[in-house]
């Protein structure tokens, strides 16, 4: 069966077809949610929310071939809602330390990258995360953020230049 067939069957209420559509891109969905939320539990919560919303609103999808870009927009909105709600919560626990030196180094490197990203404008942070951490194409980023392709490219370019200035070295795009 092709994508359009699965989407059409899912629109008619076939839960198995919807499951097949989601499972086909589960890694992409998870990676996208994780880029935004930086936490496995929250990423999985966002995926659950996305699935419920897709199930409820699938009948309103006009173009069946747009299913994946439409679903990613829903996922990004779910992630943003979790981030908004997260700001209202004060966390008292601390992350446990990891004994493996390799993991500590990788975690430390990730924290350094995150530290530099946090210094950028939120719009630049978002496109850089989607491009380099979620490994999305420019046109997909444009669809998700509902901005023109040229804006995506300019934000990435400017964000990389600012990041380069912060880091103090050369960067390849």
Query: pLDDT, tens digit, for every residue of 23-70?
Result: 999 999 999 999 999 889 999 999 999 999 999 999 889 898 999 999
R_g of the chain computed on alpha carbons: 18
Q: In the numeric block, which tokens belong to residue 89?
A: 């919560």
- Which pLDDT score, from 0 to 100, does residue 133 have? 83
- Which pLDDT score, from 0 to 100, does residue 41 have? 92
Question: Mean of the per-residue pLDDT values for the chain?
Answer: 82
Averaged pLDDT, 109-128: 82
- Which pLDDT score, from 0 to 100, does residue 92 have? 36
- Which pLDDT score, from 0 to 100, does residue 93 have? 40
Q: What is the CATH number of domain 1-93?
A: 1.10.1740.10
Averaged pLDDT, 86-96: 47
Averaged pLDDT, 157-165: 88
Helix %, strand %, coil % for the chain, to 5? 75, 0, 25
Are 59 and 65 in contact by the 8 Å Cβ rule? The answer is no
Averaged pLDDT, 135-141: 90
Are 49 and 123 in contact by the 8 Å Cβ rule? The answer is no
What would the pLDDT profile of 49-60 be if each residue is shown by its tens digit?
999 999 999 988
More confident residue, 101 or 13: 13
- Which pLDDT score, from 0 to 100, does residue 57 have? 93
Q: What is the CATH number of domain 97-168?
A: 1.10.10.10
Residue with tokens 């919303």: 53
- Which pLDDT score, from 0 to 100, does residue 135 have? 84
Main-chain dihedrals φ then ψ at residue 51, nearest 5 degrees: -60, -45
Residue ranges of domains in the chain: 1-93, 97-168
| pLDDT exceeds 60 at position 21 | yes
| pLDDT exceeds 70 at position 108 | no
Within 8 A by CB and 6+ apart from 153, the residues are 138
Whether this prediction's pTM lies above 0.75 is answered by no
- Which pLDDT score, from 0 to 100, does residue 101 have? 36
CA 35 to chain centre: 5
């Amino acid at each position: 069966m092709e994508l359009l067939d699965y989407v059409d069957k899912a629109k008619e209420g076939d839960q198995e077809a919807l499951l097949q559509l989601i499972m086909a891109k589960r890694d992409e969905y998870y990676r996208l949610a994780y880029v935004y939320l930086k936490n496995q539990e929250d990423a999985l919560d966002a995926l659950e929310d996305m699935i419920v919303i897709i199930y409820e609103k699938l009948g309103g999808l006009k173009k069946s071939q747009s299913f994946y870009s439409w679903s990613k927009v829903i996922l990004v909105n779910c992630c943003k809602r979790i981030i908004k709600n997260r700001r209202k919560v004060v966390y008292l626990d601390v992350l446990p330390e990891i004994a493996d030196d390799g993991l500590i180094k990788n975690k430390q490197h990730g924290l350094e990258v995150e530290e530099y990203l946090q210094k950028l404008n939120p719009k630049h942070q978002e496109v850089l995360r989607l491009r380099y951490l979620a490994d999305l194409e420019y046109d997909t980023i444009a669809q998700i953020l509902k901005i023109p392709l040229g804006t995506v490219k300019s934000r990435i370019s400017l964000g990389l230049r600012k990041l380069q200035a912060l880091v103090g070295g050369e960067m390849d795009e």
